[in-house]
Amino acid sequence: MSQLRVRAGGLYTTVQDSGRFGYYHMGMPPSGAMDAYSAIAANLLVGNPDGAGVLEGTYVGPTLEFTDERVVAVTGADVPVTVNDEPVEPWTAVRVRAGDVLGFAMIRAGCRVYVAVSGGIDVPVYLGSRSTYTLTGIGGHHGRKLADDETLPLGSAASAVRQGAAVPQDLRPELDGAAELRTVVGLCSYRLTEDALASFLGTDWKVTKDADRVGYRLRGGTLDFTEREQPFGAGSDPANVVDLGYPVGSIQVPGGDEPIVLLNDAVTGGGYATIGTVISVDRDRIAQTKTGDVVRFNSVDLDTALAARTDRRERIERIRRAIAG
Amino acid sequence: MTEKIQLPPARYEYGGDEFVFVELDQAMSLEANFAGMAVTNALREEAIDGIVDICPSNASYMVQVDPDRLDPRELVERLRRLETTVGALPDDYVLKTRVVDVPILFNDPWTHETLMRFRDRHQDPDATDLEYAARINGFDSVQGVVDAMTEAPWIVTMLGFVPGLPFCYQLVPRERQIQVPKYVRPRTDTPERTFGFGGAFAVVYPVRGAGGYQMFGMAPAPVFDLSQSLPDFADDICFPRANDVLRYRAIDMAEFEATRAEVEAGTFRYRIREVEFEPAALLADPDAVNRELLEVLYR
């Protein structure tokens, strides 16, 4: 069996794919690549199916050594990529041979890099997915982040891919500036005063250091809840509701001053009032923010959310055509 | 129950493009939970293409949808129709479920050690979580509140937060429900298998981790078993299922240690009995139905 050597695991690198679905009702989140668009693009570049296993690196990418001839592609965050210490192009299919070493320098913009290798990272499928969910230690590579000096199984490489195939510049995500997150306001947003809701949408929120695959905690303002007699079973804090389900992407404000956006490894429910949901397409964008970055929430309706989905699908098809071309 | 609770019209909300959230009531009640059970059961039977998951919750439910296959607006229309046709559970509805004996060591040394480390985040730093719960619920002693929690069984009204965590609501009228606030600020640590309490819900934490519920005790048996080595976990890594009836039973340290030994040896099995009961009958006379449930469990 062919293997990929992990010389250095990087800061927090996990195996991910398009996610694990159908277990939310028992408390298991989907996991999967946080920036789904970049992960799909990486797979397309190396000739893999969209949902093949990729590596998701965070802040500091891994150092990887190949043991046979493969095609590799790096997408996601803006980061200098090297093969044997020589710069190579990101968002581009690169052919590598046994002994070649892929490495990363410091990230310039964004937060997460994706590494796809032709054949895919072939860890065992668990409950329909190769995605890692570290909280309970399932999926991926032994349910955890990669360590130094270990190996990962690779699948057999698919048909020939075009060396040098690249994602056109206009189809690569824009990672500079504040992240504008389109948000469907609702769920329990009635818990906020009108002023608080306006302030939520008008504030430049800063990503705190508590930002990981479970969720992002933000700071930058204080939001007031409307006064009420708490309903039976909710608990006494004004931010409390009778425990309910949390959509992936939903925003809650425990204590009124630190909004939390739940992401791919979300806790699936709990007792804090949710006030809206970041649309699925823009989860890709928040996944590319890091501590200190600014995010803003823009209220949109469901039509806009669905149109954004269609638009993303068309962009992926354009990548597919550009690579085939 | 003593006074029948009328539910408000359901409230339909889009959780972005991939979720529909339906709030049946802002307050918890068995009526709200049973209404959610009725509509989510009916929805499951319709097997609509594009529904990814159906997640019943305490007084609400959530449907995960693939919007490329099913427009969330169309789903909401179907849910509204189900609300009118199914509405509340019919009076003759029979719930087929399991009743399970769940042993708990109250006032255990492990949660005690943990709660002492987080007194600064608690409403009453000078009392234990259990002493605080007894006091604010009007009991003279810790034993009083433990008796109240263990006399009548509970129903699993929601699974979530983390895999396999059962939210349990006691099958007694609202005026007999025990209520406690969550910690003022959540803890960063909770031992695995902690028996916790928040709002009107009892839980068992499946894994170690953060938590905001009051800590009352510890279960010797797991609710989550990734290795699936225990027979009760042969089909699923999570033991509890929605609508399970759980009887929390107070045990002493000797039984706790004996049960732990069985778990370690891989021989532990929960005491489980299949039961049927009518939710309408339960609402009308909870004590009588609870007596029958426990009679079946320990027969």
Which A residues, 234 through 253, put their C-beta within 8 Å of a C-beta on chain B?
A: 234-237, 240-245, 247-250
Q: Would you list the DSSP string of B244-260?
A: -EEEEEE--HHHHHHHH
Amino acid occupying residue A79: V
Minimum-distance CB partner of B18 among A232, A245, A280: A280
Give the pLDDT of residue A160: 66
- pLDDT score for A307: 98
Residues in CB range of B70: below 8 A, 6 or more apart: B48, B49, B50, B51
State the Cα angle at A271 between B138 and B123, rounded to 5°: 45
Partners of residue B236 in chain A, C-beta under 8 Å: 26
User: In 3D, which of A141, A144, A149 has the Cα closest to residue A124?
Assistant: A141
The stretch A289-313 carries a mean pLDDT of 98
- With CA atoms as reference, the chain B residue closest to A304 would be B17
pLDDT at A229 over 60: yes
**Is A302 in Cβ contact with B160 (below 8 Å)?**
no
pLDDT higher than threshold 70 for residue A319 = yes
Query: Is the pLDDT reported for residue A77 higher than 90?
Result: yes
Residue B1 clears pLDDT 60, i.e. is over it: no
B112 Cα to chain A: minimum distance (Å): 22
**pLDDT tens readout for residues B145-197:** 999 999 999 999 999 999 999 999 999 999 999 999 888 888 889 999 999 99
Give contacts of A 70-109 with B, CB under 8 A.
Answer: none
Kindly compute the dihedral angle of the four CA atoms of residues B92, B97, B101, B106, in this order, to the nearest 10 degrees. -80
Contact A252, A208 (CB under 8 A): no
Domain boundaries, chain A: 3-173, 179-308
Strands (E) in A178-306, as ranges, are 179-185, 205-211, 215-219, 240-245, 250-252, 260-262, 269-272, 274-278, 294-299
Which residues 270-289 in chain A show a CB within 8 A of chain B? 270-271, 274, 277-280
The shortest CB-CB distance from B15 to any of A27, A232, A250 is to A250
For chain A, say whether B36 makes contact (Cβ under 8 Å). Answer: no
DSSP assignment of A273-295: -EEEEE-HHHHHHHTT--TT-EE
Predicted pLDDT of residue A324: 86
* A256: pLDDT strictly greater than 80: yes
CB within 8 Å: B68 and A278? no
Q: Tell me what pLDDT residue A243 has.
A: 95
pLDDT in tens, A90-121: 999 999 999 999 999 999 999 999 999 999 99
Task: Give the domains, in start order, of chain B with CATH numbers.
Answer: 11-85 (3.30.1360.40), 96-298 (2.40.100.10)
Q: What is the three-class DSSP state of A2?
A: coil
Measured in angstroms, the CA of A107 and the nearest CA of chain B are apart by 30
The candidate with the shortest Cα–Cα distance to B28, out of B220, B162, B226, B178, is B178
Of the candidates B17, B58, B72, the beta carbon closest to that of A244 is on B58
CATH number of A179-308: 2.40.100.10
Instruction: Pull the structure tokens for residue A253.
Output: 């404000």
Pick from A243, A267, A305: which is nearest to B158 by CB?
Answer: A243
Best probe of the B interface among A18, A20, A26, by most B CBs < 10 A, is A26
Contact A269 B16 (CB under 8 A): no
Interface of A with B in 167-206 (CB under 8 A): 183-184, 186-188
The arithmetic mean of pLDDT across residues B43-56, rounded, is 96
Query: Smallest Cβ distance to B181: which of A235, A241, A279?
Result: A235
Q: Does B191 touch chain A (CB under 8 A)?
A: no
Judge: B17–A309 Cβ closer than 8 Å, yes or no.
Answer: yes
Residue A325 scores a pLDDT above 90:
no
Rounded Cα–Cα distance for residues B239 and B230 (Å) = 10
Question: Is residue B27 within 8 angstroms of chain A, CB to CB?
Answer: yes
Is the ipTM above a cut-off of 0.95? yes
Per the CB < 8 Å rule, is B55 touching A233?
no
What local confidence, expressed as pLDDT, does residue A1 receive?
62
